[in-house]
Structure 1
């Protein structure tokens, strides 16, 4: 256990000395050191600094801020879900304009993600849906779309992605049809 204390003590001392040399006295004070402590550290000979760094007992305390720790995990999970949704949309043929409107991704960011996901770029205008496909899509959309009381755009977009998967068409076609009938937020 003293090896961990040694590592912590040494790391903290190096950081404090670095901050002192860089003139970041406020960072040192935020760690709990006062002006007198900083002056003393600045003037200590190497031998005493080495003793401080290699002390067999901890003079550094590490605490976990559980509230912040948990908040960061929750935010990380949200970010991961968003990444998965973005990647799913790109794989299902979402256009750059859809990606910009839904996620704020610029054309260049969408193009880069397509390359990273090995999604081929289609040239020219997309093939139009047949009338039968349009009717099938619309009937299914009426079943999948979020209810009137739910105006969550993510929920609506996820329903469009599901419909694109089921109908084996691009989400751009679904987006276009839903917009055509004034259903999109």
Structure 2
């Protein structure tokens, strides 16, 4: 392992030197004289130094940075899982752009990678019974801020709970119906859409 580490570090340092990035070499712990000496070595000399069994580099673990990176990786993984879940549930390009900022090309690529096909044509509007079921399920999970990730998770749960029953129900349909009903409530309409009571 040590010769490989020596080789990797030397390769990295020499690459940085070729780009004129001396600060990077110094950040690794090399002095200016050492950097200059490395820069003067012939290929044969570099090979001998890089293959030496005596380690000239020590590894230390920066626990705070590692913990931060692990937490960041977990958060990003969960974020990607939510996006994939939304796509599997029939999230439209508009929905995915709204909640995740994805472009239409990104959505299409993700759909292809996940093997999700989208039927052509407009999605049929839910009947009154389905509309009422969506609203009832939403009331059990309701999140005040419809723009929040928590609201989208709740909408996905509504979709999943109703999916086996009404054929063709998608996350996009559930999203549109919930937004419409919530807007009706805010506007204090006397005759809200079916199921919005």
TM-score range, shorter chain: 0.7 to 0.9
Q: Aligned pair count?
A: 179
Query: CA shift at 1:91, angstroms?
Result: 1.1
1:86, CA displacement in angstroms? 0.8
Distance 1:42 1:109, change over 3 A: closer
Q: Counterparts of 1:1-185 in structure 2 under 5 Å?
A: 4-44=1-41, 49-146=46-143, 148=144, 153-168=148-163, 169-182=169-182
**CA positional deviation for 1:112:** 1.5
Contact map agreement 2:87 2:111 (CA 8 A) in 1: yes
Report deviation, 1:92: 0.9
Residues 100, 115 of structure 1: CA spacing in aligned structure 2 closer, same or farther, 3 A cutoff?
same
- C-alpha distance 131-61 of structure 1, shift in aligned 2 (>3 A): same
Q: Secondary structure at the match of 1:141?
A: helix
Q: CA RMSD in A?
A: 2.3
2: distance between equivalents of 1:76 and 1:6?
Answer: 30
In 2: Cα distance, 1:78 partner to 1:63 partner? 25
Task: Give 5+ residue unaligned stretches, structure 1.
Answer: none
Output the TM-score relative to the length of structure 2.
Answer: 0.80
The CA deviation string for residues 16-72 of structure 1, in whole angstroms up to 9 with x for no partner, is 333334432222222222222223333346665455333332111111211111111
Gapped runs of 5+ residues in structure 2? 164-168, 184-197
Specify whether residues 29 and 110 from structure 1 end up closer, same or farther in structure 2 by C-alpha distance, changes over 3 A only. same
* Cα distance, 1:124 vs structure 2: 1.4
